[in-house]
Structure 1
Amino acid sequence: MKIINILLVLMLQLCVHTGIAQNQAAGYSIRGIISDSASHNALTFITVNLIKSPATVLKVDYSKADGSFSFAGLESGSYTLAVVGVGYKTTRITVELPDSSQKAGDLGNIPLMPDLVGLKEVVVKASKQIVKQEIDRITYDMQADPENKVFNALEMMRKVPLLSVDADNNVYLKGNADFRILINGKPSSMMERNYRDILRSMPASSIERIEVITTPPAKYDAEGLAGIINIITRKPVDNGYSGTVNVSERFPVGGPGVGGTVSAKFNKLGMTLMTGGNQYRIPSIRTMSERATRGQDPTYLTQNGTNRSTNYSGYLGYEISYEFDTLNLISAQFNINGSQARGFVSQNSLLMADSGLLEQYGLANTSRDLGRGMDAAFNYQRSAKVNKNQLLTFSYRYFGYSNNQKGQIDITERINVNLPDYRQVNNQQFSEQTLQVDYVYPIKKLNVEAGLKAIMRDNRSDFQFESFVTAANAFDPDPFRSNRFTNTQNVFGAYNTYQYTFKKWGLKAGARIEQTFVKADFVSTGSRVNQNYVNVIPSLSINRKLKNNAGFNFGYTQRIQRPGIYQLNPFVDRSNPSFERSGNPVLRPAFVNDFQLGFSTSKKVSLNIGLGYTHLRDMIMAVAVFNPQTNITRLTFGNTGRARLFMLMLNSNYSINKNWNLSLNSRVAHGRVFGVVDGQAVSNQGFMYQANLSTGYKLAKGWRVNGNLNVVGPNINIQGTTNSIVSSSLSVSKDMFNYKLALSAAVNNPFTQFRNAYRETFGPNFNQVDLRRDYFRSFTVSLNYKFGKLKEAIKKNKRGIRNDDVQTDN
């Protein structure tokens, strides 16, 4: 805490001294914010020329990440601003600075119009840039992709640079499953509990863009080894109302779904509603597991079975803002979500040894999973009179969710099996409160940000194991396999970030300091765990702008992975008697050092190339250990790994002609993992790759056809690997009623009905193979409707709470 206090004093002194120096500076100034007239997004590195006479350019500035620019130290008189950007019309603005006490000329928002090319009576609009490289992130414009009306958000992530989706609908950022997902720059309970359910429910048409923040600045919490995925939902553009609704059906895997957004603005009051829900059913599929052990008494286990499941999920998010005047703004948000899943597993198990049959049984597992989540936040933002970009923000947020799991296991056809029928109940609860203060202070071409934050978390788990007693014809609790677990985690942090723009260079650097207090208590057994650690997290991003809308980016950051309740919870899942799974309450945080170098250009061909090196230590990894005394394989988590990863990324978009486009999103990496499993050193290495090739052709009368080919290579971990996946899709859509209504149909994997998902796991004394035969071919039909018209963008706080520092259960 002393370190945090010292840092806070230094930040306040910096702001005070800088403010005094600025007040003492004489002269006039001009400032403004540049944005896209269509999307209202801030435009970065737009050239602003300050002209005193028709042939004299006095100064040149470039817009920052928030679109702002400024000129200071000017004399009174008449000036002209020439705003120039590739793909936009040049805008000229006359500014008068009279000889008076009003020395600051604030131009407010300056919208740039996309460049239009006239051809007789036809107006052809330039192709909208789908992928954009910014100083610390890559942005994918979802509205520029015609397939946003066909697929959901999860399916569209295959096209986003650095993202991939495997056969189990797990999302990976740079091949890593440890990342954070934000909605409009803020955490949401919708993404904390189970992001897959929500992304399947969320139509891509309701998303404006997806930002992949590869080098998160210090203002973000340090969690998320791979980075942050920020989903920006569609924003209202005019005074009034607007919205989009999507209805879809998918079969035989999946089900009906509906989702959309509605926004409205009435003078100073703005509101946005986002909602959706779907059913996701998996018909009966076949599974198989084989395990061969080594040692004095080798064994061979074979399990064959089937499983089916049905999941219902839904979400609702609401935001409201009110602008009292040009200096004071308040906003609030409220999100709720829920899901209910039911599943059934039927399985036959056979355990053999050289001497013959050791064990045999049949198993039926009926499970139920009920989850709920909610969060609410309030923000107050105050702008300075002298400079509207000077902001002070106070924020509060409450967030909580629960997961209640219940399973009943019935055992039949027993041979050498004394285990009774049993039930498992695991009730998990998570709550979090956050207080945050942010301060933004622009000084000419330098933008200074500082903030303080406190997060108080409370994790709870009550798990029960009940054995069936035949004599009593009832289930009896087993106290030796039951427990109550509590875990509190308090994080106190401070950050300081500096962003500087000079000619064609952009620099963003900062540091974050966090102190964490962890307490774990096993209520039933009376044992406790206490941890206390301090981390300093640096970040650095550099951008060099070149000619022809090209540029280089370099980024370095250090990130933390703190274990979440799913990894900490010591609950032992015994739904399969031969395989157990549990958390580890004594886990420590993991760390990563990440270096990224990128090049981007956007002419007729939009090209993004990236090189990366990642080094991880104290990795939180799933570790499988076989116990020859019980013939059970136990999977748990440990800080057992370290790894290094080299990566090459290539993303390209090419317009062959005005109707035909082609895009490629690809990544190849070589990883090596080291660790200790069951007291023995283990290592694994290999190449990992992904590629998504997409093409679309625009036909007459609003028709469009699209095709996708997706390849995801094996996933390498410390004890095994998975097989690769090759998938394809074809879609057709029809726009009607002036592009307000769209009908779409798609077929996924038309040439393959089933796919075998293969996973291999090895340990010092065993080898295991798991096989699952999934439905691969599916069909989708959807209807997308856009309505309303607005004239003025809804204002939101430019700063708010972002809790990005806890590993989810994904």
Structure 2
Amino acid sequence: MRICWLLLSFFFYTALNAQQGTLTGTVLDEKGAALESATAQLVSFIDSTQMLTTTSDKSGSFTIYNIPYGYYRLRLTYISLQTKTIDSIYFREERSDFNLPDLVLKPKVQNDLDEIIIYAEKPLIQSKEGNITFNAGESALSQGSNASDLLTQVPLVTKDPNGKVLVRGKEPRILIDDKPVELNLQQLQDLLESLPGSSIEKIEVLTNPPPQYANEQGGVINITTKKGTVGKSGRLSIFGGTRGEYGANGSFSYRKNKLAININAGFAGNEFNGYGYSFRQNTYKDSTNFFNTNNEYKNQNIRPNFRANIDYEITKSHLLNFVVLYNQNSYDNLNETVFRNINRFDQLYRLSERSINSKGDSYNPNFSVTYTYKTKVPGEVFRLFTNVNYSNSKSDRLFYQQFFNPDYTFNGNDTTQLQINNNISKGYNIRFSYDRPLFDKKTSVSFGGYYIHSFSDINVDALYKRKGDGALLPLDVLSNYFLFHQNITNLRGSVRQHFGNSFSATAGLSMEQTGIYFDLLKAGKDTSNKYWTVLPFANLNKTWQNNTNLTMSYRRTIRRPGINELNPTRDFSDPYNIRAGNPSLLASPAHNFDLVLGKSKGSFYANIGVGYNVVEDIYTPIRELLPNSNVTETIWQNISGRKEYEMSTWSGYTFSRKLRMNASASYTFNQYSDFDKKNRKYRDGGSLTSNLNAVFTLKDLYSATGSFTYNRFANPQGTVRSSVSMNLALQAKMLRKKLTLTLNMIDPLFRQKNHVFTYGSNFVLENFSSTQTKNYRLSIGYSFTKSAKKPTPKTKAAIQKVIKS
């Protein structure tokens, strides 16, 4: 740690002595080809005679150095092309380096005015019409982290205790570069945890999504990756943390004319240590007893990853995109638990220890192709998306349990069991969409549909060690073999009407057929189900001149159980709480009503949303104490339904160009039926998620970012409470911003803790767990980008001669 602080102190000192600015950019024509020898002229607002001039190289890149602080206007010129002016670029102590995106010069048309653009800097978080954009490229937290970490820094986004991503308490659709990710929960977690944060440009949260995703209950999260600049560029980074974290990432990008290639590859290793306990009181007709546990665990994993993205422009109208993804998770987990049975007289009468060693690997390749056709009619677009995915997960779980007398002397009894899992999942999906504005340009239509097929082959073999000869024999009760198929077909259509420039209405309908089929090979039977669902949606949007926006929406959504909820295999990792899925689960439809009011003015934005949901056939894990036993069983079950009342807010304020803050909070109150509360002892309760972000920029090369979150989740049988999590980052840049050093301080003050309270009809359970998340991570990254050469005195003189003429 001392070395980390010394290094950062040195680089910060170097940064604090920077006194002049630098401007870089790339000039292209309309076809995306680099423009060599385009003139870039930077003129001071205060003194128009104070100007700096250069030309672009063969890759279209230019760089202007030694820019005194102040406001400037950038003027780009090229023979036979229209002049472009970018106004109000402000060089100052806290922002002295600007890298402008691709600057496109259009063909010159007679009597056409020069194009003038007012430059606006990207804040960390933007909000418009209820949607949120988190500019990850502006955050020091992105260095050394992954997509899963970054998502928890975005307003309204959180993860539940099982690691599932939620937006305002509901599960969203995840997109990467506008393409849907069709993976199960575990595959999605592996993907997000293997995607480097440094490769992400921005994360968008669409609480009011476009028609093709209008029926997603949690809206849409779109992760946009960095595309690189014209020519060749690359980046290498390494990171390590005090918690046992380590990894490296590399990226390469190439762009020229109609072809763009982006490749990312790397690996990350992690180690988590933790402990926990539980207290359970069992109530019977004539007595009570207690069951207590204490446990410790150590989880280690390494995650290699690879992603290649290729864009090819056949013509201006025909575009192709190819994406290849691969991620892997190799893990080695050890859990040790002590079980204590205590009678009503508070006397220990049964004692045992159980260790579980789980080792496994999962391999997840993924391939997709997207074809886009743009007609000459502005806004008319046809897209065809295809995807193929595959996953192979293998694991061995070794269970060893010893039994003791109350005085902790070994009583001679022990058991050894082995569970071997070999699961294969694969699938494919096809999507199409067609959008077209009608002739009045105030009306637009959108049509589309998709077909998704997924297949799982689950193979679980269980063995036990026989006393005497030590032979491993089959254990049928813990073994399972089945095949699972799911097919989803969807067709949709919608109309959007603009009434003037400030009011619009959208209405549409989706028709969806879901078919599932289970072949329970072990049981020698099969089961299937097929059903249609009608999913209407509509919204009204009004914007006033004072930048106030109001959105009202209705949509019917459906939540389908996945393989994790349907899998009937009995999880015996805890012999006193047996878990299993339920292949008979029904999908859960819901009616969602939302109203969002937002306002932005200068350095401030604020949004408040209220919602009301009627959810039917909810499926959730229900824990019950088995009769005449101290064993509980947790099975996924459908319950009658509930009503949800929501309130959420997300706001941001720029105190100065050095300090910006953003905050969000969401509260959902769940109300169950009188029948469920009386007969199943369910409890009404509220879930709270909150997030606070702050960015402080002392100088252009020195910044600090902080994020703080607090979550509390309710379930039908109780609540889950979690402590505050923190992520603080200090970042320094040097060598013309090619070298980046970042120090992340994750949960520096306390460990992550979770408290779970569960209330059943004949038991009360308290669970506590704590994970060693405290971590100091140092990340070092170096960008390989070609800087434009400074023009020679002879070239400068020629440029000035052309300008004056």
**TM-score for both structures, normalised by structure 2:** 0.78
Contact 2:403 2:412 in 1 (8 A): no
Q: RMSD across aligned C-alpha pairs, in angstroms?
A: 3.5
Residue range with higher mean Cα deviation, 109-118 or 227-236:
109-118
Contact 1:673 1:717 in 2 (8 A): no
Consecutive unaligned residues in structure 1, runs of 5 or more: 1-36, 41-87, 92-106, 792-810
Tell me what 1:33 maps to: none
Of 293, 301, 321, the match for 1:311: 301
Matching of residues 204-243 of structure 1 within 5 Å: 204-220=197-213, 222=215, 224-236=216-228, 238-243=229-234
Structure 2 residue 295 is matched with structure 1 residue 295: no
Matching of residues 661-740 of structure 1 within 5 Å: 661-674=660-673, 680-700=679-699, 702-712=701-711, 714-740=712-738
Tell me what 2:392 maps to: 402
SS at match of 2:586: coil
Contact 2:708 2:725 in 1 (8 A): yes
Matching of residues 738-777 of structure 1 within 5 Å: 738-752=736-750, 754-777=751-774
The superposition leaves residues 405-455 of structure 1 with CA deviations (integer Å, 9 ceiling, x where unpaired) of 321111213569988421122322221122333322222232222123222
Q: Take 2:146 and 2:92, find their aligned partners in 1: how far apart are those partners?
A: 37
How many residues in Structure 1 have an aligned counterpart in Structure 2? 685
Cα offset for 1:683? Answer: 2.5
Cα offset for 1:119? Answer: 9.8
Q: Take 1:90 and 1:675, find their aligned partners in 2: how far apart are those partners?
A: 67
User: Are the structure 2 counterparts of residues 180 and 590 from structure 1 closer, same or farther at C-alpha, using a change threshold of 3 Å?
Assistant: same
SS at match of 2:683: strand
Matching of residues 54-203 of structure 1 within 5 Å: 113=86, 115-116=88-89, 126-135=120-129, 137-149=131-143, 151-165=145-159, 171-176=165-170, 178-188=171-181, 193-203=186-196
Q: Take 1:716 and 1:217, find their aligned partners in 2: how far apart are those partners?
A: 30
Of 317, 329, 332, the match for 2:322: 332
Residue range with higher mean Cα deviation, 202-211 or 575-584:
202-211
Cα offset for 1:717? Answer: 0.4
Tell me what 2:373 maps to: 382
Q: Take 2:538 and 2:727, find their aligned partners in 1: how far apart are those partners?
A: 40
Cα offset for 1:360? Answer: 2.5
The superposition leaves residues 645-669 of structure 1 with CA deviations (integer Å, 9 ceiling, x where unpaired) of 3233222222222222222222333
Of 501, 506, 509, the match for 2:507: 509
SS at match of 2:680: strand
Contact 1:242 1:787 in 2 (8 A): yes
Structure 2 residue 353 is matched with structure 1 residue 362: yes
SS at match of 2:633: strand
Q: Take 1:524 and 1:710, find their aligned partners in 2: how far apart are those partners?
A: 45
One-letter code aligned to 1:239: V
Residue range with higher mean Cα deviation, 664-673 or 369-378:
664-673
One-letter code aligned to 1:159: Q
Tell me what 1:30 maps to: none
The superposition leaves residues 707-745 of structure 1 with CA deviations (integer Å, 9 ceiling, x where unpaired) of 443333x21001111223123344321121233322111
Matching of residues 209-608 of structure 1 within 5 Å: 209-220=202-213, 222=215, 224-236=216-228, 238-252=229-243, 255-259=245-249, 261-283=251-273, 285-296=274-285, 297-354=287-344, 358-384=349-375, 386-387=376-377, 389-414=379-404, 420-443=415-438, 444-501=441-498, 502-598=500-596, 599-608=598-607
The superposition leaves residues 746-784 of structure 1 with CA deviations (integer Å, 9 ceiling, x where unpaired) of 3233333x4542211121011111122322432111123
Contact 1:740 1:787 in 2 (8 A): yes
Contact 2:155 2:691 in 1 (8 A): no
Contact 2:168 2:218 in 1 (8 A): yes
Cα offset for 1:399? Answer: 1.4
Cα offset for 1:132? Answer: 3.5
One-letter code aligned to 1:212: V
User: Are the structure 2 counterparts of residues 587 and 155 from structure 1 closer, same or farther at C-alpha, using a change threshold of 3 Å?
Assistant: same
User: Are the structure 2 counterparts of residues 691 and 388 from structure 1 closer, same or farther at C-alpha, using a change threshold of 3 Å?
Assistant: closer
Residue range with higher mean Cα deviation, 115-124 or 239-248:
115-124
Residue range with higher mean Cα deviation, 342-351 or 464-473:
464-473
Equivalent pairs: percent with the same residue? 22
The superposition leaves residues 287-325 of structure 1 with CA deviations (integer Å, 9 ceiling, x where unpaired) of 212211001342211112211110111221212232222
User: Are the structure 2 counterparts of residues 347 and 594 from structure 1 closer, same or farther at C-alpha, using a change threshold of 3 Å?
Assistant: same
Contact 1:190 1:373 in 2 (8 A): no
Cα offset for 1:245? Answer: 4.1
Cα offset for 1:136? Answer: 7.0
Q: Take 1:696 and 1:409, find their aligned partners in 2: how far apart are those partners?
A: 48
Cα offset for 1:346? Answer: 1.5
User: Are the structure 2 counterparts of residues 777 and 394 from structure 1 closer, same or farther at C-alpha, using a change threshold of 3 Å?
Assistant: closer
Contact 1:190 1:337 in 2 (8 A): no
Contact 1:452 1:493 in 2 (8 A): yes
User: Are the structure 2 counterparts of residues 604 and 389 from structure 1 closer, same or farther at C-alpha, using a change threshold of 3 Å?
Assistant: closer
Cα offset for 1:214? Answer: 1.9
Q: Take 1:447 and 1:541, find their aligned partners in 2: how far apart are those partners?
A: 14
SS at match of 1:470: coil
One-letter code aligned to 2:689: Q
The superposition leaves residues 561-589 of structure 1 with CA deviations (integer Å, 9 ceiling, x where unpaired) of 11111111111010121111111111111
User: Are the structure 2 counterparts of residues 227 and 246 from structure 1 closer, same or farther at C-alpha, using a change threshold of 3 Å?
Assistant: farther
Q: Take 1:725 and 1:780, find their aligned partners in 2: how far apart are those partners?
A: 21
Q: Take 1:90 and 1:180, find their aligned partners in 2: how far apart are those partners?
A: 40
Q: Take 1:787 and 1:689, find their aligned partners in 2: how far apart are those partners?
A: 44
Q: Take 1:630 and 1:127, find their aligned partners in 2: how far apart are those partners?
A: 64
User: Are the structure 2 counterparts of residues 293 and 111 from structure 1 closer, same or farther at C-alpha, using a change threshold of 3 Å?
Assistant: farther
Contact 1:675 1:682 in 2 (8 A): no
Residue range with higher mean Cα deviation, 200-209 or 650-659:
200-209
SS at match of 2:151: helix
Q: Take 2:26 and 2:609, find their aligned partners in 1: how far apart are those partners?
A: 29
**TM-score for both structures, normalised by structure 1:** 0.77
Cα offset for 1:674? Answer: 5.0
Contact 2:213 2:219 in 1 (8 A): no
Consecutive unaligned residues in structure 2, runs of 5 or more: 1-24, 29-71, 76-80, 99-118, 406-410, 789-805
Cα offset for 1:686? Answer: 3.0
The superposition leaves residues 94-120 of structure 1 with CA deviations (integer Å, 9 ceiling, x where unpaired) of xxxxxxxxxxxxx9x999957546999
One-letter code aligned to 2:759: F
Q: Take 1:129 and 1:669, find their aligned partners in 2: how far apart are those partners?
A: 29
One-letter code aligned to 1:704: S
Contact 1:239 1:790 in 2 (8 A): no
Contact 1:248 1:780 in 2 (8 A): yes
Q: Take 1:722 and 1:608, find their aligned partners in 2: how far apart are those partners?
A: 27
